[in-house]
Structure formats: C-alpha cells, structure tokens
Amino acid sequence: MSVSEQDELVLNAYLDGELGPIEAARFEQRLAKEPELAAEVDARRALRDSLRSGLAEDVPSDDLRRRIMASVGGAEVHKARPWARSWSSLAASFLVGALLGGGLIFGALNDQGQQDVASQVVSAHIRALMAPQSIDVPSSDRHTVKPWFAGKLALAPKVVDLSTKGFPLVGGRIDVIGLAPVASLVYTNGKHLISVMEMPSAQPLAAPLEKHVEQGYQALTWSDGKITYWVVSDAAVEELKTFVGLFQEAAES
Amino acid sequence: MNVDDQIDQNRFAEVFLPHVDDAFRLARWISGSRADAEDIVQEASLRAFKGIRNFNGGSTRAWTLTIVRNASYSWLAKNRPSTVVLTEDLDQRAREEMERGAGDGDVPTPEAALIAKMEAEEVRNAVAALPLPFREILVLREIHDLDYRSIAEIIQVPIGTVMSRLARARKLIFATLRESAR
C-alpha cells in the first residue's frame, strides 16, 4: 500500500471527525479522486461498524452494581428494586421469573416505592433545570438523539417526533434513578421543559396513567408492561396530559 | 449516615454510576476477562468514591474512565505483571514501521470487503490480541466514542501520540485479519 505516513494520519483524523471543516472538505475532494485512499477509509469504517455491532450485549452482570454499592457502604443496597438493574439483564430476569412461574422476581412495587421513584424523577428534572446545560445531547433530531443513547445504555429509548404538535424535542440526557442509568428525553412546550424518562417496568403488566405532585412539579407515569414512562414538568397538568396522549400515540405507531 | 457521607454518595451516584457499563467495557478490553473486569470496576468504584471530592466539573465519563484505566493497570501489574509492556518501546517500533509502511510489498487487499465477510467475533479477537497500548486506544475511540483530546487526557499522552498509535492500531488489525483470512 502506498499511503504515506502523513496521509495515514489525515485519513484517520478524517474518519474520527477530528479535521476542521475546511481540511475535511479538502480531504473529501482527494477521496473522490484517489480510490486507494477511499478504500482505506472504507476499511476503517467497516472495522468500526464491526466493533460497535455487539456493543449492547457487552454489559456487566446484575451483581456488579450491587457489589459497587456494597463496597462504597451504601445503605441503598437494601433499597435496590427490580428496576435498579441494567436494562438488558432485566430481560434475563424476566425470563428467569417466567420460568420460575411464581413471578418472585417481580415483587410488586408498593406505593412507597412508587413515591420514591416519583421524588427521584422530579429531583432529576430539577437538577437538570439548575445545571448550566440541562441536556447532554442537544438535538431536535431524533435520529441523532436515539443513537447517542445506544452507545451508553443497553437499551435505547423510544424517541418520537412531536414538533408539529407543539412539543419539539430539544435533546436527551442520562439520569440516575434508583442507582441505574435511565434515558431522559427533553421536550419543550413554550417556556416549559418536559422530561420523559424511560425505565424497565418492575412488573410485566401495563399500568394506567397516574399523577404525582412533588415540590410543585407534575409527574405523570404509566407503563406498557415493558417500559415504565415518567413525564415531569412544571407545565399545567392539562398540557402534560395532552403531551402524554401524543407521546403514547406516536410511540405505538 | 452523616450529611457529608450522604453528599459523597449522591455525587458518586451522579458521577460514577451512569458510566458503569462503559467502565466495565474498558476494564474487560484491558484485562480480557469479564470476571476480572468486574473486580476491576469494583475496585475503581472504591477509588472513585474516596476521590469523589477531587472531581471538579468536566466530563464525568472521562473522569470515571481515567480511574478505571488506572485501576486496570494496577490490577494487571499485580496479577499479570508479564503483560504490562513498556509503551516507549512500542511507540518507537510503531514509528519505524510507519516509516517503512509504504514499502511492505503487500498487494492492496480490499479490507472493507474482508471485514464485511468476517464474523464480528473474529474482528474482536484481533483487537483482543493487540498489544495493550494500541488496544486501549482503539477501544476508547471505537467502543467509547471519545475524541482525541479526551483520549489524550485519559491516557496522559500528547495528541500526536494518540494519532500515531490509533493509526498503527488499525493497521495492525488489518494485518492480523489478512493473516487469518489466508
């Protein structure tokens, strides 16, 4: 191969998105004219795709989070609930639960438990409002937001486009609810921010919409049996219910 | 639990815990074993918790991965001292080979097609067989999707070194894959 050392570095930097726009444009002109260079870029892209293909399955066991909390002396260990597990392992425990037949793993989340989640969900929303930037991935394009989560969480959240309905997407972030990372989407409605958090359901049953009020914020929750959704905002509850209706409709289609 | 402990726990929950999967992946690629990776991440979590007050803004992910990387190296030095290679030697060799690169006499192979034909498993095995300094840089780039600056910070080398090691890592993978396709 006759790619010079300098070209080698430039093509790697190009592939990795490290070139400035002018350099990148110039390099793309070269790529169009030099098939050998283009083949080198293609090869590196294929390598990347291959390495990223098995990413979602490459997650630690349930046990690791428990061990971590135990080693930092957390009282939280005792509070650990079924949903405080990584998403993919939840699917595994679902299987085990189904096999046992007794559904032991799905201890019903009691009212106190749900209240805990409500206050954590609201806290996460408030924390995001107070932070200099309330979103980690600022984008109104769901095709940007969803893949961003895919690299960070075992299961990417449902991201729907409601911009034409008056609720444009502004981005996403990761919150920690019950010691597990959770995908949060951020939508706006006028001046109000709406956080939508998606976490694995604690029990394999759909649950109807339920309202919580915490520190002046409205939190609505429902479950489709696989995912439990939480929607938090300081917007009026009617607006929020409209949003939930639109979200559910778009998520199903 | 006193208030300070509670604050530390909350910070730990915000800074370290969201990145446990990432931490595990890095430790697994460095150590080559899932079980060892979990031990390493647990040890790293303890370090992170003790040092949580040293975290002063910036990327929580880069901070976490730096600690996990250091914990991985300590673990290797203790449990598998023979695998820790002097990176200076490798960088020197990488430079020499890059300089020779143009004349290695290979017939150009369509590597993209080669990789497309291979099982992802084979590609991963090739990465696992890379010398540690090249492996970790490729993993931080491709698996963790970090930019050059973050990688340079995590492994404490200049950006130029990140670039040359990454370029070399990719070439080494292609050489291995060509070899195994033969």
Residue A131 near chain B (CB below 8 Å): no
pLDDT digits (tens, 9 = 90+) for A134-182: 677 777 788 888 888 877 777 778 888 888 888 988 888 888 887 778 8
Strand extents, DSSP E, chain A = 137-138, 169-177, 180-189, 192-200, 206-214, 217-224, 227-233
Integer CA distances (angstroms), B33 to B79, B164, B165, in order: 13, 27, 23
Of B104, B115, B124, the CB nearest to A46: B115
For A87, the token pair is: 């998403």
Residue B135 near chain A (CB below 8 Å): no
Instruction: Please indicate whether, in this complex, the C-beta atoms of B17 and A179 are within 8 angstroms of each other.
Output: yes
Which of the two residues, B181 and B139, has the higher pLDDT score?
A: B139
pLDDT digits (tens, 9 = 90+) for B66-120: 999 999 999 998 888 776 555 555 556 555 655 554 444 444 457 777 777 777 8
CA distance A173 to B49: 23
Note whether ipTM > 0.85 here.
no
A152 neighbourhood in chain B, CB within 8 Å: 18, 21-22
A2 neighbourhood in chain B, CB within 8 Å: 102
Question: Could you tell me which of A231, A78, A240 has the C-alpha nearest to residue A158?
Answer: A231
Instruction: Please indicate whether, in this complex, the C-beta atoms of A39 and B111 are within 8 angstroms of each other.
Output: yes
CA distance B32 to B128: 7
The reported pTM is: 0.57
Least confident span in A35-39, A131-135, B46-50: A131-135
Instruction: Please indicate whether, in this complex, the C-beta atoms of B123 and A179 are within 8 angstroms of each other.
Output: no
pLDDT digits (tens, 9 = 90+) for B133-178: 999 999 999 999 999 999 999 999 999 999 999 999 999 999 888 8
| pLDDT at A111 (0 to 100) | 52
CA distance A181 to A172: 13
Report the mean per-residue pLDDT for chain A.
78
Pure H helices in B55-118: 60-79, 87-100, 111-117
